[in-house]
Amino acid sequence: NCTHTTGDQIDGNLLVAKALVKAGVECMFGVVGIPVTSLANHAVSLGIRFLAFHNEQSAGYAASAYGYLTGRPGVLLTVSGPGCVHGLAGLSNAATNTWPMVLISGSCDQRDFGRGDFQELDQIAVVKPFSKFSVKVTSIDRIPNSVFGVLDEAVSGRPGGCYLDLPSDVLHQTVSESEAENLLLSAMNSRKHEANGNIETIEIEKAVSALRQAERPLIVFGKGAAYAKAENELKELVESTKIPFLPTPMGKGLLPDAHDLAATAARSLAIGRCDVALVVGARLNWLLHFGEPPKWSKDVKFIVIDVSKDEIELRKPYLGLIGDAKKVLSMINKKVKDDPFCLGESHTWAQAISNKVKENVSRMEAQLAKDVVPFNFHTPMRIIRDAILGLGSPAPILVSEGANTMDVGRAVLLQMEPRTRLDAGTWGTMGVGLGYCIAAAVASPERLVVAVEGDSGFGFSAMEVETLVRYQLPVTVIVFNNGGVYGGDRRRPEEITGPHKDDPAPTSFVPDAGYHVLIEAFGGKGYIARDPNELKSALSEAFSARKPAVINVIIDPYAGAESGRLQHKN
Ligand code: ADP
């Protein structure tokens, strides 16, 4: 399906590629086919890196994570109909996590729509719940404006997913090169520049005064603060006031997990007893127990910093500061600097948290110190933690998914640098692993990428190990293989009844599956690890090679709990 350019005419495919380049897009993820293959080829010729996947779902997860890591929209390119539908996984994930992403799909010929055309679908209707802005390009002259429009919308205000629909007839229309240049130029000139929101000084004063008067203040931050790159401002605030802090799972690393004021290992105490909580770029949703009792005290005053007015209106905090976390925090810091206050180490609240952290950490360390074989979740996790810490800086980006693997990993693995953790996120999305690995490797080429995931999470997109090998990305995928979703077949004999009793349990996979062999089929490196020595040597070899590798860690199928730590929701 190679469309091309004749004389000084260029077609829609080339014009889209030119507009993407002009808008600063450096990288795209996707699966090519009718009618967008030539668009991808043109984009590559013009200098855009195209990461070609096996499945749009994975490519979409990659685009969403790329948006989060870089602060620029991750772009996913798909074919029409089913390609667009598969891409919805990534778009919805971006929308839910509030990450900037643009899904670009080809669509059927406008004249044939409604008559059962090839891969026909009303794609604008389909993407609606997951996009903050979508546009169908109805003629070639609309291309530059539409491309800039979706890219700008994805990052404006609260970041999110946007959609660009490219009918095949538009991709084949042509304009002269000079006309194309004019269209690009005038669209560039009419791009909107986001107005900066204004925060009243009085609001900042109110926030600082509430923190100053608090007996048990806490600073909570999430992936919105990470997206805003607010780490320096958070460090300044925490270190000048000595207020303890609690990161959400993906907020981990904005300040090092090993920081003296980290309350992570005393989470229940910190949120249960704090009287004023400054919440930065984190929603008071299920992950933070809706900010309600019994997890939080009923009198806690929330001061919420969020770029989204809707979010503030939804939560009705004591005080809402609408704006970019980095900017708002620097205003707060300035105010604190003018009239400093500090909890001090002898403060009973800081002491109580620090004592609880020490107690919980030493209990966890005692559990981790044992070498349990066949492996439980803790022993290999400790070995992985130590191997990652041994790498120093730049720390690798950790990708984590799976119920037990992610839960245990969140507690054991330490995040020492900002934006080095990607996990199942707000939606608890499983299957993100390989896509996130590829996005991380492309977005942060200086870092190694280490995925620690369950066998079930890995299986969603295991074929993308070929993509890792094809692009030679420095990614080590560690599969915690306990033979199924939550574990192997754990049914008691009396539970195994009915006409299909000879089928394996819905939770189980082939026991002892050779996941490491998968990557070897494509020339990557595979390892199997059944004990601490095998795991240590595999990690050391894979990390120093910086080449695609899969380490198949065999875990006791009876280790791990159903639904991990979310049993109450099952
Ligand atoms: P977590 O899962 O870490 O708790 P959430 O995804 O629930 O984090 O919340 C992130 C919040 O951050 C969202 O409400 C989003 O609107 C907000 N946000 C996104 N970008 C920024 C920014 N630049 N400044 C402040 N808040 C932001």
Residue 300 sits at the vertex; the CA angle it makes with 296 and 305, to the nearest 5 degrees, is 100
All residues at 6 or more sequence positions from 517 whose CB lies less than 8 Å from its CB, including other chains: 526
Residues 6+ apart with CB under 8 A from 146: 135, 137, 164
Ligand 1: distance of its center to the CA of 223 in Å? 6
pLDDT at 3 over 80: no
Ligand 1 neighbourhood includes 285 CB (under 6 angstroms): yes
- The pLDDT-based confidence of 2 (bands split at 50, 70, 90) is very low
- Which residues does 502 contact at the CB level (< 8 Å), separation at least 6? none
The larger pLDDT score, comparing residue 127 to residue 192, is at: 127
The reported pLDDT for the residue numbered 557 is 85
CB 147 within 8 A of CB 20: yes
Distance CA 377, CA 356 (A): 24
CA of 328: how far to CAs of 61, 93, 191, 318, in Å?
A: 30, 27, 26, 17
Distance CA 247, CA 236 (A): 16
Most informative mutation of 306, 322, 332, 422 for ligand 1 (most atoms within 8 A of CB): 306
Per-residue model confidence as pLDDT tens digits over 345-364: 789 999 999 999 999 999 99
**Whether the Cβ atoms of residue 535 and residue 553 lie closer than 8 Å to each other:** yes
Q: Is 308 in the pocket of ligand 1 (CB under 6 A)?
A: yes
With a CB cutoff of 8 Å and minimum separation 6, the contacts of 470 are 52, 522
Does residue 424 have its Cβ closer than 6 Å to ligand 1?
A: no
CB of 252 closer than 6 angstroms to any ligand 1 atom:
no
Sheet strands (E) in 111-253: 133-136, 161-167, 174-176, 217-221, 245-247
Classify the complex by whether its ipTM is higher than 0.95, answering yes or no.
yes
What's the 306 CA to ligand 1 centre distance in angstroms?
6
CA distance 153 to 131: 10
How large is the average pLDDT for residues 81-92? 98
Residue 307 Cβ inside 6 Å of ligand 1? The answer reads yes
pLDDT category, 567, cuts 50, 70, 90?
Answer: low
C-beta 227 within 6 A of ligand 1 = yes
Whether ligand 1 lies within 6 angstroms of the CB of 158 is answered as: yes
Pocket probe for ligand 1: among 156, 219, 227, the residue whose CB has the most ligand atoms within 8 Å is 227
Please tell me if the CB atom of residue 223 comes closer than 6 angstroms to any atom of ligand 1: yes
Sign, CA torsion 375/378/379/383:
positive
Cβ burial 54-93 (10 Å sphere, 16+ → b, else e): bbbbbbbbbbbbbbbbbbbbbbbbbbbbebbbbbbbbbbb
Q: CA 386, 398, 438, 513: dihedral to nearest 10 degrees?
A: 70
Mean pLDDT of all residues in 546-552: 98
pLDDT of residue 1: 43
Percent of the chain with pLDDT over 70: 96
Q: Which atom of ligand 1 is nearest to the CA of 285?
A: 7
pLDDT of residue 564: 62
Q: Which atom of ligand 1 is nearest to the CA of 247?
A: 3
pLDDT of 393 > 70? The answer is yes
Quote the ligand 1 centre to 10 CA distance (angstroms). Answer: 41
What is the pLDDT averaged over residues 280-304? 98
Task: Find the range with the poorest average confidence among 25-34, 220-229, 359-368, 484-493.
Answer: 484-493
Measured on CA atoms in the order 169, 61, 67, 95, is the torsion positive or negative?
Answer: positive
Q: What is the mean pLDDT of residues 176-183?
A: 97
As a whole-number percent, the residues of the chain with pLDDT over 90 amount to: 89
Cα of 308 from ligand 1 centre, angstroms: 8
* pLDDT for residue 491: 85
Alpha-carbon span 321 to 338, nearest angstrom: 20
Residue 565 has pLDDT above 70, yes or no: no
Query: Is there a contact between 103 and 70 (Cβ–Cβ < 8 Å)?
Result: no
Average of per-residue pLDDT across 495-506 = 90
Distance of alpha carbon 409 from alpha carbon 454, whole angstroms: 11
Which of ligand 1's atoms lies nearest the C-alpha of 287? Answer: 4
Residue 307, classified by CB atoms within 10 Å of its CB into exposed (0-12), middle (13-18) or buried (19+), is buried
β-pairing verdict for 133-136 and 161-167: parallel
pLDDT of residue 355: 97
Mean pLDDT of the chain: 95
The atom of ligand 1 lying closest to the CA of 426 is 2
Answer whether 227's CB lies under 8 Å from 99's CB.
Answer: yes
The pair of structure tokens assigned to 133 is 């802005």
Ligand 1 contact, 100 CB (< 6 A): no
Q: Which two tokens stand for residue 439?
A: 């996005």
Cis peptide before 499 (omega within 30 of 0): no
The predicted pLDDT at position 50 comes to 98
Mean pLDDT of 463-481: 98
pLDDT tens for each residue of 431-455 = 999 999 999 999 999 999 999 999 9
